[in-house]
Structure 1
Amino acid sequence: MENDYLQEEVNYAFFSFPETKEYFAKVDYYLKNNVHIQKQTRPAGIFQYVRKAYPGLKEYYRDLFEFMLTCDGQGDFEYFFIDFEQDENGKYRRGNIPLLNRRYLKDAYLVIGFLMLNIYDLDGQVEERHTLDGFLRIIREQYENYHVNLVRLLTKNDSEFVTDADYNTITAIVRSALEEFYTLGWIYFDSESGEFELLPSSRRLFLLYEKEIRNIEEIIRKNHG
């Protein structure tokens, strides 16, 4: 019993940190809701707390919730997020996280994410301000030859023609995708002005889907509904 207590003290030393009372509940909420924690995360100080507590937090979530607290990036581009292990069939073990806390990106949102990173982040730079209207304009201009295919890919509409209603639908899908990315902590998004800023953790999508992001134009070109 005594040894078990000592082991707990070693693994979960962050419970004794003076900052734990201020930050741990928020960290726990963020991580269990798939939010990424990085320098830009609020409240100020939470990122440095996770950095300091990371070894113990990693053990805590592995032992009690069966998921991995993972760190990626370096310096000001470092970020923390929960990750899941794959079983022998390639399916992800979701650990002891309630279903209501699990987030699954819609296919259309993934496509928007691929477009966003292809356009703004293939050079690895982040933290530049962009706008929703500017993003939509670039999509229209850069994929002008694939309008019908892109509409089909995003709206699941098999029509041979692109209408104003289709563009309105795409605008709504892009806005919803940006709002979802904001919730996940991948970007900062001001829903009123339409301004958004890619954050370091947006690179996680690139790491997961580099091939698709680099070849998004080919994916759109080949899409036939």
Structure 2
Amino acid sequence: MGNYHPQENINATSFLADSAAKELFATIDYALKNGVHIQRWQQQEAIFRFLERHFRSMKLYYREFFGILLEEAGETVNKYYYVDFLPGSRGNISVENRHFLANEYVIIGFILYKIVFIDGYIELDSLPALQRMIQQDYEDIKPGIYRALAKARKVNTTEMDDQKVNDVVEKALREFSKIGWIALEGQNFDILPSFQRLPKIYGDYINHPENWLKDETA
């Protein structure tokens, strides 16, 4: 921890008084602007602690200088930080530094959330197991998943075979890893606290899967 003594008068640059800012701030800034969620997890531990200490100051910094919101969510060990945009604005962040999840990856996120948090398969921790579950254990909604992925890719449903869906699942997990929703090592993964941002953004879709998995040809 840096040699920093909190003061009552917090402003948009107060956090720079912490001697650890020279070592950590550039890493934090780069990560946040690239859509990474920061939490108490292994290599993120130091930057998480810095954010936790200086949240009030850094929230002012990102709003005043970049027109974006530094947010915190979750509690205690599940707390995490990320940046969000003000309504009707994308802030002063270049397009190159914004991370957008493709619709097909969001759909895989819905399925992963359903499997783990709704259906209770909390032990799920590998890519092959996830792929196998989608293919074999969810046959009742499998056609709907394939239709939704085909629609997201703007292709015919007949083009979405098992291998292509497996490829989408793998790419989705890699994207989730980039933004800090999961920790992916080889073919194994851990779901991180910030994955809970998915239902915060897309709660209606997750809670009502029949609306996007329905057979539109029926």
TM-score by length of 2: 0.85
The verdict on how the C-alpha distance between 1:64 and 1:176 changes in structure 2, with shifts beyond 3 A counting, is same
The verdict on how the C-alpha distance between 1:212 and 1:43 changes in structure 2, with shifts beyond 3 A counting, is closer
2-structure distance, mates of 1:195, 1:218: 31
The verdict on how the C-alpha distance between 1:116 and 1:28 changes in structure 2, with shifts beyond 3 A counting, is same
Deviation sequence 1:176-199 (CA, Å, 0-9, x none) = 000000000000112x3x111110
Q: State the partner residue of 1:107.
A: 103
SS in 1 for 2:54: helix
The one-letter amino acid paired with 1:132 is L
Q: Does 1:147 align with 2:142?
A: yes
Q: Is the CA contact (8 Å cut-off) linking 1:155 and 1:170 kept in structure 2?
A: no
Instruction: List aligned pairs for 1:108-147, cutoff 5 A.
Output: 108-122=104-118, 130-147=125-142
Instruction: List aligned pairs for 1:152-167, cutoff 5 A.
Output: 152-156=147-151, 157-159=155-157, 166-167=161-162
1-structure distance, mates of 2:61, 2:203: 31
Q: State the partner residue of 1:171.
A: 166
Q: State the partner residue of 1:200.
A: 193
Structure 1: runs of 5+ lacking an equivalent: 1-7, 88-92
2-structure distance, mates of 1:129, 1:142: 13
RMSD of aligned residue pairs (Cα, Å): 2.5
Deviation sequence 1:75-128 (CA, Å, 0-9, x none) = 0100000011113xxxxx1100011011111111110001111111238997x5
1-structure distance, mates of 2:216, 2:188: 30
1-structure distance, mates of 2:119, 2:56: 31
Higher relative contact order (CA 8 A, sep 6+): 1
Q: State the partner residue of 1:184.
A: 179
Q: Is the CA contact (8 Å cut-off) linking 2:38 and 2:180 kept in structure 1?
A: yes
Q: Which moved more, 1:65-74 or 1:145-154?
A: 145-154
The one-letter amino acid paired with 2:67 is E
Q: State the partner residue of 1:211.
A: 204
Structure 2: runs of 5+ lacking an equivalent: 1-8
Q: Is the CA contact (8 Å cut-off) linking 1:68 and 1:82 kept in structure 2?
A: yes
CA shift at 1:218, angstroms? 5.0
Q: State the partner residue of 1:23.
A: 24
CA shift at 1:137, angstroms? 1.7
The verdict on how the C-alpha distance between 1:196 and 1:57 changes in structure 2, with shifts beyond 3 A counting, is same
2-structure distance, mates of 1:209, 1:177: 16
CA shift at 1:43, angstroms? 4.4
TM-score by length of 1: 0.83
2-structure distance, mates of 1:66, 1:125: 40
Q: Is the CA contact (8 Å cut-off) linking 2:11 and 2:60 kept in structure 1?
A: no
The verdict on how the C-alpha distance between 1:41 and 1:213 changes in structure 2, with shifts beyond 3 A counting, is farther
Q: Does 1:79 align with 2:80?
A: yes
